[in-house]
Amino acid sequence: MHNEDLALARQILSGDEQVFNEFFEQYFPRLYRFGLSRLDDESLIEDMVQNTMMKAMKSMKTYRGEASMFTWLCQICRNEINMHYRKVSRAAPEVPADDDLIRPILEQLESEESLISEVQAEQTRRLVIEVLDFLPRNYGTALEWKYIWGLSVVEIAKRLELTELAAQSLLARARTAFRKAIDEISPQLNQAGQTS
């Protein structure tokens, strides 16, 4: 049960503008990236993501917290995209998430050897971004700030209005969650990685 997300849904429906804006700032960029992985037309991404968020607003009263808010939003977005492709009589492109794509990521995590060419492959990159976006609230952002932007723990703590210790703890939990999320994408490969 995703109680925090359920509380968020209730606050949104109560009419709290600040909560609505935080919700938008948090989920719009993530849904945009979700759309980027599946569509190649910027205006179509805008339409799909806008429809998704508008439908989410209309259905917020039915959200029961059984899935995380982002998973729920992605399900709506996926339906929007599928319906778009059906309307134009084309099959939605398959989103690659096969073993060949995941293996380099796992290998990268298992060893220090560079796999630049594979990691730079756009599809793999998109998959890692998707993992970051699917992490619980703040985890993906903290990892991005720390390891992509190179912010210090002190700076992250300040941005998230946390103590330095709490920010360190958050980063540790975020790393564990990131690793776990990557592992869960392919349990079989993970098992092979552990036994090799």
Partner 1 sequence: MTEPDDNLTEEAISNLLQKVGPLETPPEDMTSRVHAAVEQTWQREVREQKQRRWFQYAAGIAVVTASIYLGLTIQTGEPNPPIAHLDSSSEGIFWSADGSTWQPLEDKPMTAGSWLRTDNSASVSFAHGLNARINTDTSLQLINDSEVHLIEGTIYLDSYDKPTDLPFRVSTRFGTATDIGTQFIVNSGGTAWSVQVREGMVDVSNDQMNQEVHAGEKITITQTGDAASTFVAPFDDSWRWAEATRPAFSIEGRNLVSYLKWVARETGRDLRFAGPDTEREASETLLHGSIDHLTASESLEYVLQSTDIRLIDGPENVIMVKTQISH
Site residues for partner 1 per CB under 8 A: 12-15, 20, 24, 28-29, 32-33, 36, 42, 46, 49-50, 53-55, 57-64, 66, 72, 75-76, 79, 82-83, 86-87, 105, 108-112, 114, 116, 119-120, 125, 128-129, 132-133, 143-144, 146-149, 172, 175, 178-179
C-beta closer to partner 1: residue 169 or 191: 169
Structure tokens at 36: 């980027």
C-beta closer to partner 1: residue 88 or 161: 88
Cβ count within 10 A of residue 22: 14
C-beta closer to partner 1: residue 55 or 162: 55
Give the torsion sign (CA, 65, 68, 73, 76).
negative
Q: Minimum distance from CB of 170 to partner 1 (Å)?
A: 14
Q: Minimum distance from CB of 125 to partner 1 (Å)?
A: 5
Q: Minimum distance from CB of 188 to partner 1 (Å)?
A: 20
Cβ count within 10 A of residue 80: 18
C-beta closer to partner 1: residue 11 or 162: 11
How many Cα atoms within 13 Å fall on the side-chain side of residue 64? 2
Which of 121, 78, 81, 82 shows the shortest CA–CA distance to 102?
121
| DSSP letter, residue 69 | H
Q: Minimum distance from CB of 155 to partner 1 (Å)?
A: 16
Structure tokens at 67: 């899935």
Intra-chain end-to-end CA distance of the chain, in Å:
36
C-beta closer to partner 1: residue 42 or 99: 42
Question: Could you give the maximum distance between any two Cα atoms of the chain, in Å?
Answer: 54
Q: Minimum distance from CB of 95 to partner 1 (Å)?
A: 14
